[in-house]
Amino acid sequence: MAMMRLRREDPRVVGTFRLHRRLGAGGMGVVYLGSDKRGQRVALKVIRPDLAEDQEFRSRFAREVSAARRIRGGCTARLVAADLDADRPWFATQYVPGPSLHDKINEEGPLSPAQVASVGAALSEGLLAVHDAGVVHRDLKPSNILLSPKGPRIIDFGIAWATGASTLTHVGTAVGSPGFLAPEQVRGAAVTPATDIFALGATLAYACTADSPFGQGSSEVMLYRVVHEEAQLAGVPDALAPLLASCLAKDPADRPSTLSLSLRLKEIAAREAHGLSGGPLENGAGAGAGWERRLSERPTGRRAEEYARQRTERRTGGSTPRPHAPRPAAPRDAAARPSGPASAAGKGPRTGGRAARGAPGARPPGRNGSRTPVRTTSGGRRPGPDRRLLRQRIIVFVVVTLLVALGIAAAQGCQGPTSGLGVERPAPVASYGGAGADGPWGAGEQIP
């Protein structure tokens, strides 16, 4: 956004904000770049002195500021502060860095269909938040849309308008620009959310062609065309032309709702971004009650499958996952087992007993008959935990140890009256367990 130095007549401080540069001027007043004590930057608009003296203007200004405080949305510049009772009323909104849509197109030319649909979808979401708060922008145009690094932002809300500003006799102070005003604004009728839909349609047509859909000329000529002539959409891409034509309908009732417009623009943006074709717009370009249903339709059939497949490929890194084939049973013979990096290097997990008494090099059996090392994300191999096999080995070791100990004891008890070292055994004293009792040393054997 172009900035200019402060002029001699410009204030240096407004409220708690220090002013640094001029950002622009319009029918309502001058916009400045300011900052507070914490360094937060704002766009601060000071109302013109002649409008500040109009009591009706101040009343409307107060109502609209109160409604604007309720706006919540990522695609709008949030209202930061306002002073309704100052000699010259003012309000400050969040400062948005980035060029306006008007400057972008003026310097680089029209946007692609995918870009126009993407910008339109974001703007329609922003308008949805505005309309839910009970506010109508009334001045949506390319110069009031900033392309910030985080996406397009709507600025400079039509928070107030002068007495009779919606009539031709005061068009100089009217909120809105002749090429983007809705017919009801020109006629002096009440504005509704459909008024912003008309302005958004004209703005998106400008993004496609770098020109207003009602051409160029004086304010009176432009306003006449808006009311009595159809919009010229010859340079608008086919994917967007029917939708923009419905937005530019003369009757507000024939325009799509803000929610329907948002859904339809999202669908077009996705379709154009992926080079797909087809959709409900190809069968008609009319406006009216049918558009409410067609704009809210979701993609179905082959297009829906294509969208799902593309989303899956993006999540999996470009390849569609396939079902795993059943794992073949491990061969019993080690010679029949295919060799791999781990087995060839001899670095598999050591499980003892040369693979549980199997052939040399065979892997020990696990729960499923074969134990397969688990592959890590880095490509290495590590053995999976098998606590049951470990318990079995401990039990076998304990049992074998006890049997060996009992065998040694039994062998010593079965020797003669003298031990192998020539030491004489003492004479028996008594029978274990009484006469004829069977003890652990055999039936009738004497305890030493």
Among all residues, which ones are annotated catalytic? Answer: 139
Give me 443's structure tokens.
């039936």
Q: Which of 139, 136, 295, 278 is nearest to 202 (CA)?
A: 139
Per-residue CA distances from 96 to 39, 41, 42, 223, 227 (Å): 14, 9, 8, 31, 34
Asked if residue 144 lies in contact with residue 127, where contact means CB atoms within 8 angstroms, the answer is no
Residue type, 273: A
Per-residue CA distances from 435 to 134, 415, 446 (Å): 111, 22, 10
User: How far is it, in rounded angstroms, from Cα 75 to Cα 132?
Assistant: 14
**Cβ burial, residue 315 (10 Å; 0-12/13-18/19+):** exposed
Give me 13's structure tokens.
């401080």
User: How far is it, in rounded angstroms, from Cα 150 to Cα 294?
Assistant: 30
CB atoms within 10 A of CB 252: 18
Asked if residue 96 lies in contact with residue 146, where contact means CB atoms within 8 angstroms, the answer is yes
Q: How many residues does the chain have?
A: 448
